[in-house]
Amino acid sequence: MKLTGAEIIVKALEAEGVEVVFGYPGGAVLPLYDKLYDSSIRHILVRHEQGAAHAADGYARATGKPGVCIATSGPGATNLVTGIANAYMDSIPIIALTGQVAVSAIGRDSFQEADITGITLPIVKHSYLVKDVRQLAPAIRSAFHIATTGRPGPVLIDLPKDVTLAQAEFEYPPQISFRGYRLPEKYSATQIYQAAKAIGESRRPVIYAGGGVVSSGAARELLELAEKAQIPVTTTLLGKGAFPETHPLSLGMLGMHGTKYANYAVSYSDLIIAVGARFDDRVTGRLDTFAPHAQVIHIDIDPAEIGKNVRVHYPLVGDVKEVLRDLIPRVEVPQTREWLEQIAQWKAEHPLTYANEEGILKPQYVIEQIWEVTKGEAVITTEVGQNQMWAAQYYKAIHPRTFISSGGLGTMGFGLPAAIGAQVGRPDAVVFDIAGDGSIQMTSQELATAVQFRLPINIAILNNRYLGMVRQWQELFHGRRYSQTDLADTPDFVKLAEAYGAEGIRVTRAEEVRPALEQAIASPKPVVIDFVIAREENVFPMVPPGESLTKMLGG
């Protein structure tokens, strides 16, 4: 029996187990929306295509399943670009379906035509422009395979309207093979032996865990390695939750706004075991002074990351979970007693701290209270800026896939739509978006999405009426010349929430924080809490850009 291209797409998505898609319709993609109307696949109608991509991203991070987003051709497709780039930088598997003008109209500057496969070429793992209806099913099968194997990432499928209307026999390939896509060769037994030997001989080892631990589902193995060998663990922003931050061996986050004791530990270590992390500049600081006494074991699925930023002595290319399972039985326990005593001393001397001032609400206190009220069991998304770093410092992530943040691209406006995706994927979870008043305004229209689909997300706005992180840099490095960072005319977020049909709460005093959080969690509606915080509070510790990890300001 022949099906139309649109029917084939729906059948293929169902075959891949897709239960929900995030999108925004338009002319070029109407045949697909017509068939979705009769499908069991749930569609979440966002208010801007960027929100669809971020929601698919948040869904993928919260559930471990690939997220799917849909947009029409031209501006609809280009509005997905920021979300696709965000997923690419953080290695998140999403499938982006874009409408396109008819095949015969491609290249003629037709109405709402955009070369989206060309535009997104540097920010996707792969893309397809499907010009033959018979190639639709294989393209979708391949897209899901590519997005979820090896180093995960976004795949785009561009769908000319006439292809979605044409007909073909539907046969979904049970397996797929194609030239040019090969998973990296696995590490050798010799490499495992050498890495295990290096761990056993080390005296000041540190595990540096990244998002690869989360995406490979290797949190349990990481805990086993750390406890067996008694090695302290620090994480990247994307690695939060890979190791319980309430564990005695946890050092919290390292890098520009990491803990002092994590940065000291890395700087004075003799062995760094990098697990699914990529040594980005916000972590290493000044590269030529990064961990000067340490050898490096680097475990990563992507061979391109090995040696890209730091010299690696023991490379282990492969899935993190598989590598750790092979490595752990061979590791001899190093003598780390004196090292752990040194780290305990650093923790005692340099704890995360902030100054309480009578009558002034501090953002760090708000984050601490969110952690206390939720007992660390919530799913947290963040916007980008000071709010993000305070959340990373003061919310102790316990489980993987519970701390969702834009790391590589640093996308303002990510948190709210990501929270929508996370809440859709995990309907029983308490979801908080920790936001800044600047960042939330980039996608605040998605409040309407949360209200329409009755998603009880909680949005905690840390409102200092500044573009806070930029202002902090202006204060520290530009003589307090606050050029274009004052958001004095920030809207009334309580009224904004109410205008969309959500609840709004304003908090100005510390004693109001806990009742507001409890009221929000108990509400079946989306709730916006406008926390009016100290205007010029800074995020400390801070490693100035281009400086060594040991040269920290404040804290």
In sequence order, which residues have a C-beta less than 8 Å from that of residue 115 and are 6 or more positions away? none
Question: Which three-class secondary structure state does DSSP give residue 297?
Answer: strand
Dihedral sign, CA of 139, 145, 151, 156? positive
Catalytic residue among 161, 321, 347, 362: 161
Residue 459 is encoded by which pair of tokens?
């949005």
Closest CA to 33 of 104, 111, 124, 97: 97
Is 469 known to be catalytic? yes
Residue 141 is encoded by which pair of tokens?
């099968």
Element containing residue 70 per DSSP (H, E): strand 67-71
Is 551 known to be catalytic? no
Q: State how beta strands 295-300 and 250-253 pair.
A: unpaired
Catalytic residue among 65, 112, 525, 547: 112
Q: Is 303 exposed, middle or buried (0-12, 13-18, 19+ CB in 10 A)?
A: middle
In the chain, the amino acid numbered 449 is: T
Dihedral sign, CA of 243, 244, 248, 251? positive
Count the neighbouring beta carbons within 10 Å of the beta carbon of residue 224. 15
Catalytic residue among 412, 469, 542, 552: 469
Is 432 known to be catalytic? no
Closest CA to 82 of 409, 384, 405: 409
Element containing residue 155 per DSSP (H, E): strand 155-160
Dihedral sign, CA of 408, 199, 292, 310? negative
Is 475 known to be catalytic? no
Is 423 known to be catalytic? no
Please name the residue that has the structure tokens 């062995």: 271
CA dist., res. 524 & res. 520, Å (int): 8
Q: State how beta strands 67-71 and 126-129 pair.
A: unpaired
CA dist., res. 474 & res. 76, Å (int): 36
Count the neighbouring beta carbons within 10 Å of the beta carbon of residue 510. 16
Count the neighbouring beta carbons within 10 Å of the beta carbon of residue 311. 10
Beta bridge partners of 276: none
Phi/psi zone of residue 401: left (φ > 0), alpha (ψ -120 to 50 degrees), beta?
A: left
Assess contact for 390 and 533: CB atoms under 8 A: no
Q: State how beta strands 126-129 and 155-160 pair.
A: parallel
In sequence order, which residues have a C-beta less than 8 Å from that of residue 286 and are 6 or more positions away? 546, 547, 548, 549
Catalytic residue among 7, 16, 49, 245: 49
Where in the sequence numbering do the catalytic residues fall?
49, 111-112, 161, 469
